[in-house]
Amino acid sequence: MNVQLWTYVFVALSFGLYIGIAVWSRAASTNDFYVAGGGVHPLANGMATAADWMSAASFISMAGLISFLGRDGAFYLMGWTGGYVLLALLLAPYLRKFGKFTVPDFIGDRYYSRSARMVAIFCAISVSFVYVCGQMQGAGIVFSRFLEVDITTGVIIGMTIVFFYAVMGGMKGITYTQVAQYCVLIFAYMVPAIFISLMMTGNPIPQLGFGAELTEEYGGGYLLDRLDSLSEELGFATYTAGQRATQDVFFITAALMFGTAGLPHVIIRFFTVPSVRDARKSAAYALVFIAILYTTAPAVAAFAKTNLLNTVNNASYEELPSWFSTWETTQLIQFDDQNGDGRVQYSGDPAINELTVNRDIMVLANPEIAGLPNWVVALVAAGALAAALSTAAGLLLVISTAVSHDLLKRSMMPGISEKQELLFARLAIFVAILIAGYFGINPPGFVAEVVAFAFGLAAASFFPAIVLGIFYRRMNREGAIAGMLSGFLFTAAYIIFFKFVSPESSTPENWWFGISPEGIGTVGTLINAAVALTVCRFSPAPPRDIQNMVEEIRLPGNVPTVPLSHQSH
């Protein structure tokens, strides 16, 4: 069978499984819809968390970025992995002990303020929208190539599928769907990586193949040495040498770490297990499951870049393999024969370069470039869709709970019934997916770049409020509100200016202290913390019952009693 038929088979089977699980685990109550009834096993929750966490950015775009940026691309790897460790050790157990449905729930009750809850709702919805746009974009890229439709149609197909099982199952359906999606995506990521590692280095373990010697067929020598010499010959920067300024690498890595620890759709996963102990267990399981893909990504990046340089440079256009023309129809790879010799000149010198390659295709095209069997190529497509849609579902749930539970039930319409609350939650998902689909069709950047903006916004809004809320009992509502607003607005303004208002000026010379839009979330985090602590010192301390609650959260024992007497502010 050809690639397209295999793709239909794998996508039909996997999506049939996802929809079947959604129907089987249909949410019957708000508790099921928001936190899956709070009874998910830690192992299952660890898998679901890993799938929720490893989005299209991890599956599709991270290795692509590393393959083009070389060492500089590693900040995505370090930031996302380090951030998850930060979340698992520093925040997740305490938030689970608090025992609420959402991050705005924690903010509203911890800071005894309806205004704080409203600010948190705004930030949660904004962050989730930016993030889900990247997932819809990733789904569109996969569908456009493997189902041979345009990207707009691909995004619409992805929207329809994820809307169905998110609306049907809520968190309960999403959780068990994500367990299946993790199995699909990790199998789809590892199979071609193992194949290619064997072909290029003779070693079946990609992580070891990354540092091994190439076979004679690939020119011999160590993989990274070969990649460095190929890159230099073609006028690209040396693969293992970094080009970004040190401070920008630091700020991007920190923004991704802090953003990870403040992401609402990941935090909410720890509310679905029965106890604090189970939250710790599921965090440990998830870290193992995540590490499988994240330690493989640098090897996949190096394999893909080496194969691309060996395959296309100076090749006759008529003799290029079929995968090139197939991807060319998606306009994600483009050849402009400037000198008319019919050969592809791929160079780091823009004056003579004739090939434009979208970074997001590297993982998807890698099996085809390496000449792997058609079923492996199609399997990668199914895995990429699982990665994109699993995260999209979690993000849509955050948006729906922020609207139905935090905004309506807890703030504006406290008298609505549980049935009405579920209806509003599903309507919110419908509206959210339409907006996300639009930005998936008209994206502001590569998938990983779009996702990095979401992490920056999460870092600048939630991270200080959550950390100070857990570990500093003197932190009050005035400080938290001022900090969240200042950090979020500063970060959003910086990103919007350089990415939308004046994209032509987005260069290191014009960035503030050389910090890129992807890294500005770290500055936003520091501004948030500084403003919050300053305002806190010049405003009244929290009520005594709130301070006692904060102490109880950090101590072993029963779930603390959350005072609600101050919620009218």
What is the Cα–Cα distance from 506 to 500, expressed in whole angstroms?
Answer: 10
Q: DSSP states of 355-404 as a string?
A: EEE-GGGHHHHHHHHTT--HHHHHHHHHHHHHHHHHHHHHHHHHHHHIII
Query: Do the domain assignments include residue 564?
Result: no
Query: Do the domain assignments include residue 106?
Result: yes
Residues 6+ apart with CB under 8 A from 342: 316, 317, 318
Query: Do the domain assignments include residue 34?
Result: yes
Query: Do the domain assignments include residue 325?
Result: no
Residue pLDDT, tens place only, 105-131? 888 889 988 899 889 888 888 888 777
The answer to whether 517 and 248 are in contact (CB under 8 A) is no
Query: Do the domain assignments include residue 336?
Result: no
The helix/strand/coil state of 542 is: coil
Scanning the structure block, which residue is given the tokens 């970004």?
244
Residue pLDDT, tens place only, 519-559? 999 999 999 999 999 999 999 999 998 888 888 887 765 55
* Nearest alpha carbon to residue 448 among 534, 370, 389, 361: 361
**Is residue 494 predicted with pLDDT exceeding 70?**
yes
The residues facing 357 across adjacent strands are 333
The structure's pTM equals 0.80
The helix/strand/coil state of 339 is: coil
Q: Read off the pLDDT band of 468 (50, 70, 90).
A: very high
**Is residue 32 predicted with pLDDT exceeding 70?**
no
The predicted structure's pLDDT at residue 169:
56
**Is residue 172 predicted with pLDDT exceeding 50?**
yes
pLDDT mean over 185-193: 90
Total number of domains constituting the chain: 1
Residue 60: give its domain's CATH number. 1.20.1730.10
Query: Do the domain assignments include residue 107?
Result: yes
What is the Cα–Cα distance from 481 to 465, expressed in whole angstroms?
Answer: 9
What is the Cα–Cα distance from 100 to 140, expressed in whole angstroms?
Answer: 34
The answer to whether 378 and 3 are in contact (CB under 8 A) is yes
Query: Do the domain assignments include residue 462?
Result: no
Tokens of 59: 């599956």
Query: Do the domain assignments include residue 115?
Result: yes
Give 473-492 as a 3 state SS string. Answer: CCCCHHHHHHHHHHHHHHHH
Outline where DSSP puts E strands in 259-348: 333-335
Q: Read off the pLDDT band of 446 (50, 70, 90).
A: low
The predicted structure's pLDDT at residue 565:
45
Residue pLDDT, tens place only, 347-377? 888 888 888 888 878 888 888 888 888 888 8
**Is residue 218 predicted with pLDDT exceeding 80?**
yes
pLDDT mean over 33-46: 71
What is the Cα–Cα distance from 266 to 451, expressed in whole angstroms?
Answer: 14
> Higher-confidence residue: 142 or 49?
49
Q: Which domain holds residue 431?
A: 3-241+268-307+370-454
Termini Cα distance of the chain: 64
The predicted structure's pLDDT at residue 472:
92
